[in-house]
Amino acid sequence: MRYRKYIESDAWRSNPARLAELAASRGRCRLCSARASRGWRIEVHHATYRRLGRERRVDLIALCSCCHRDVETFLRRRRYARRVPLRRDVVRVHDFRRPLVDPTR
């Protein structure tokens, strides 16, 4: 199952585990207690993708959009920290074959 397609689907929006987590959190971020009632966007984070599409509530965590972004960034950094950089990746980062030109000048 493709993650992006699933997250944008009605199946995810009406997922009983997702709705149960939102109800259990009472519209608050589990990390910072930001409230949906005060305008914060509350999202549901997958703590695991093991049961993607048939999640249990314990697989999910209600987070405000800021905490959700921070958690995803933390997890991504930890995941990539284990990777050994390859020479070809470094070349791509420092590819100066294309000159940096400011088109407004």
Positions that interact with Zn ion (CB under 5 A): 29, 31-32, 34, 64, 67
Q: Considering beta carbons, is residue 47 or 90 the nearer one to Zn ion? A: 47
Q: Considering beta carbons, is residue 31 or 52 the nearer one to Zn ion? A: 31
Q: Is 101 helix (H, G, I), strand (E, B) or coil?
A: coil
Closest contact distance (angstroms) between CB of 10 and Zn ion is 26
Closest contact distance (angstroms) between CB of 86 and Zn ion is 35
* 65: number of Cβ within 10 Å: 13
Task: Round to whole Å and give the CA distance between 86 and 77.
Answer: 17
Closest contact distance (angstroms) between CB of 94 and Zn ion is 36
φ, ψ dihedrals at 54, nearest 5° = -140, 45
Task: Round to whole Å and give the CA distance between 54 and 64.
Answer: 23
Q: Considering beta carbons, is residue 29 or 59 the nearer one to Zn ion? A: 29
